[in-house]
Amino acid sequence: MSRDFDIIVIGAGIAGASVAAHLASTHRTAICEMEARPGYHTTSRSAAVYEANYGPPPILSLTRAARHYFEEGGYLTPRETIFLMPDNQETAFEKMMSIQKGMEEISIATAQEKFPLLRDGYARRAVLDPGGADIDVDLLHQSYLRLFRQRGGEIHCDRPVSGLEKTGNWTVRAADEVFTCRIIVDAAGAWGDAVAQMTGRKPIGLQPKRRSMAVVPSPPGAQITSWPMVGDVGETWYCKPQSGKLLISPADVTPVEPHDAYADEMTLAEGISRFEQAAAYEVTRVERSWGGLRSFVPDGNPVVGYDRQQDGFFWLIGQGGYGIQSAPALSRLAAALVRGEAAPADIIDEGLRLEDISPLRFS
């Protein structure tokens, strides 16, 4: 095990693992992860959805640019998405329609054919994305970690970084170890601002928001495997099949401090009640539940790049609820920017504007 590297990536979630896999092909790179295993926090708690019409504009560009990688690697299983418009969600519906690609408005009868639980009268309009998919998140994450190791990268788990000092190179204190490096990549998820503050930086305003998930039995006799993912366009609930069960989320966005998140029982009950208003299915039992932290800065875009201090501190945070579907493109982009190279042309061709994700927008 070395102690001196070109680059240390803090965090072994999907963001850290994917960017480190790219960087290890050109630089001596290590990952420091505070938990005993990579992916313990947000990365292993997602809904595993690829939906290229979901998220703010930079995320849409990144998600579309990621599609090829997902398909080549066999990480996607097709699953249509249906967004429903109940009363009072006209604005959200129009907004989605104004930026969508490849979606088609469908009749409520067609929506009911595809999602037989949909109650008459719940939605006034419905729109279908035939290009949605489930992502094999574990396979994706493990593949990046394997590539990282094959390229000579070192992963140090149980190493919570607690001190970052710049004296020529960076000195990184992690548990009882001290490492040195030229470049730090902050991929610490919900702890992204806490890590940046160790360097004396002001917090950028990263806010972790809890989202809860429940697994419930599928309706008796229903063949749910090919059902679409369904939710309201105003994002107050969604559901999708998962391993023969139904996954329901109240789509909560509760601001919290960074922590080991868990589902909030009351929030889950309220979300299931909203689901039941849309779906003719009474949920009598929750088999499993969990919570995770989706972390956002105020404009909702990710934060990717070096800031004005020019001291080798690189931000890779704020992926919100889209960090899996964007990771293949975001990691390629971030690795290019870490190296001081131009952004990959295919990502820019998808409409990404670097200024929209740069940390310089906060200074």
Calculate Rg over the CA atoms of the chain.
Answer: 21
Query: Shortest gap between Cβ of 18 and ligand FAD (angstroms)?
Result: 8
Assess contact for 52 and 351: CB atoms under 8 A: no
Site for ligand FAD in 22-61 (CB under 6 A): 32-35, 40-43, 45-49
Nearer of residues 86 and 323 to ligand FAD, judged by Cβ: 323
Nearer of residues 59 and 118 to ligand FAD, judged by Cβ: 59
Single-letter amino acid, residue 32: C
Q: Decide if residue 179 touches ligand FAD (CB under 6 A).
A: no
Q: Decide if residue 14 touches ligand FAD (CB under 6 A).
A: yes
Assess contact for 201 and 245: CB atoms under 8 A: no
In 3D space, the residue among 164, 163, 196 whose CA is nearest the CA of residue 306 turns out to be: 196
Query: Shortest gap between Cβ of 330 and ligand FAD (angstroms)?
Result: 10
Span near ligand FAD by CB under 6 A; candidates 188-196, 262-270, 274-282, 307-315: 188-196
CA separation for the pair 347, 350 (Å, rounded): 5
Query: Shortest gap between Cβ of 206 and ligand FAD (angstroms)?
Result: 11
Q: Decide if residue 347 touches ligand FAD (CB under 6 A).
A: no
Q: Decide if residue 213 touches ligand FAD (CB under 6 A).
A: yes
> Total number of residues binding ligand FAD (CB under 6 A)?
40
The 3-state DSSP class for residue 283 equals: coil
Question: What are the Cα distances from residue 15, in Å, to 57, 190, 231?
Answer: 19, 12, 27
CA separation for the pair 225, 242 (Å, rounded): 8
CA separation for the pair 316, 359 (Å, rounded): 9
Q: Decide if residue 323 touches ligand FAD (CB under 6 A).
A: yes
Nearer of residues 61 and 319 to ligand FAD, judged by Cβ: 319
Q: Decide if residue 319 touches ligand FAD (CB under 6 A).
A: yes
Nearer of residues 111 and 140 to ligand FAD, judged by Cβ: 140
Span near ligand FAD by CB under 6 A; candidates 146-154, 182-190, 275-283, 346-354: 182-190
Q: Decide if residue 207 touches ligand FAD (CB under 6 A).
A: no
Q: Decide if residue 195 touches ligand FAD (CB under 6 A).
A: yes
In 3D space, the residue among 249, 219, 241, 234 whose CA is nearest the CA of residue 45 turns out to be: 249
Q: Decide if residue 228 touches ligand FAD (CB under 6 A).
A: no
What one-character DSSP code corresponds to residue 361? G
In 3D space, the residue among 110, 135, 132, 136 whose CA is nearest the CA of residue 123 turns out to be: 110
Q: Decide if residue 314 touches ligand FAD (CB under 6 A).
A: no
Nearer of residues 170 and 322 to ligand FAD, judged by Cβ: 322
In 3D space, the residue among 32, 346, 71 whose CA is nearest the CA of residue 179 turns out to be: 32
Residues 6+ apart with CB under 8 A from 116: 222
Span near ligand FAD by CB under 6 A; candidates 68-76, 218-226, 279-287, 322-330: 322-330
Strands 29-32 and 245-249, bridge-based pairing:
unpaired
Question: What are the Cα distances from residue 121, in Å, to 108, 114, 233, 344?
Answer: 9, 16, 16, 47
Span near ligand FAD by CB under 6 A; candidates 184-192, 276-284, 307-315, 328-336: 184-192
Nearer of residues 60 and 128 to ligand FAD, judged by Cβ: 60
Nearer of residues 271 and 320 to ligand FAD, judged by Cβ: 320
Strand partners, 76: 135
Q: Long-range contacts made by residues 171-174, C-beta under 8 angstroms, separation at least 24?
A: 172/8, 172/32, 174/32
Residues in contact with ligand FAD by the rule CB under 6 A: 10-16, 32-35, 40-43, 45-49, 160-161, 187-191, 195, 211, 213, 292-294, 319-325
